[in-house]
C-alpha cells in the first residue's frame, strides 16, 4: 500500500492511500441511502485521483411517494423496479462527460446492468468493498462484461476498521 508519512510536531500522521480515501467516501455516501435492505455508495475518481462524483442507491427523482417496502408480494411495489443503483447515480451526477480511464469505488460489487454502463462510459477500474451474492448469474455476467471491456475489477484490500465513524 502506498502510505506516506508526514511529520507534524513530535507526532507522525499517516496519509490515507488513494484507495482508502475514495473507498471511505463511498462508504460515507452509502449512509445517504434510504434503502431498507442494502445501502450502497460509490464515487468516481479521475485519472489524477481527484473526486469527480458520488452516488448512492436511491429512488428516481420525484419518486418519494413510491413505495419502498423491504419485501412485497406485489411485484410493482418491489423496490428493485424503482431503485437507481449507486453506480448509476454517480455516473449521472458527474459533470464530466468523458469518464474514459477513470476509477469507480463501490461499497458492493456491481451488477450486470451497472457493469454495462461502466463499460460504456469507459471507466477502466472498478474497486469494490463487499462481495454481494457472487454466485448469482447477474454478478457472474457483471464480471464477464467488465473483463471483455478491459476494465480492471478488484476487491478493495485496505483496512476496514477505518470506516467506523460517528457523525
Residue written as cell 442507491? 57
Q: Of these residues, 3, 8, 87, 113, which one is catalytic?
A: 87
| Strand blocks (E) in 29-113 | 41-45, 51-56, 58-59, 83-84, 103-108
Q: What is the DSSP code (8-state) at residue 125?
A: E
Q: Which three cell numbers stand for residue 140?
A: 457472474
Give catalytic status of residue 113 as yes or no.
no
24 SS3 class: helix
Q: What is the DSSP code (8-state) at residue 117?
A: H
- Taking Cα atoms as reference points, which of 6, 25, 23, 10 lies closest to residue 157? 23
Q: At residue 56, what are phi and psi to the nearest 5 degrees?
A: -140, 160
> Do strands 83-84 and 51-56 pair parallel, antiparallel, or not at all (unpaired)?
unpaired
d(CA 25, CA 21): 6
Catalytic residues: 87
Amino acid at each position: 500500500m502506498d502510505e506516506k508519512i508526514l511529520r507534524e510536531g513530535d507526532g507522525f500522521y499517516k496519509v490515507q492511500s488513494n484507495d482508502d480515501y475514495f473507498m471511505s467516501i463511498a462508504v460515507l455516501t452509502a449512509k445517504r441511502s434510504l434503502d431498507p435492505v442494502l445501502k450502497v455508495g460509490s464515487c468516481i475518481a479521475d485519472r489524477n485521483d481527484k473526486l469527480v462524483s458520488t452516488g448512492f442507491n436511491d429512488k428516481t427523482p420525484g419518486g418519494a411517494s413510491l413505495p419502498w417496502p423491504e419485501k412485497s408480494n406485489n411485484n410493482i411495489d418491489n423496490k428493485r423496479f424503482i431503485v437507481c443503483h449507486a453506480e448509476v447515480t454517480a455516473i449521472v451526477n458527474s459533470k464530466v462527460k468523458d469518464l474514459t480511464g477513470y476509477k469507480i469505488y463501490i461499497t458492493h460489487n456491481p451488477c450486470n446492468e451497472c457493469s454495462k454502463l461502466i463499460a460504456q462510459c469507459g471507466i477502466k477500474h472498478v474497486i469494490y468493498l463487499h462481495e454481494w451474492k457472487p454466485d448469482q448469474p447477474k454478478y457472474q455476467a457483471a464480471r464477464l462484461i467488465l473483463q471483455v471491456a478491459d476494465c480492471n475489477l478488484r476487491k478493495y484490500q485496505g483496512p476496514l476498521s477505518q470506516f467506523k465513524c460517528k457523525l
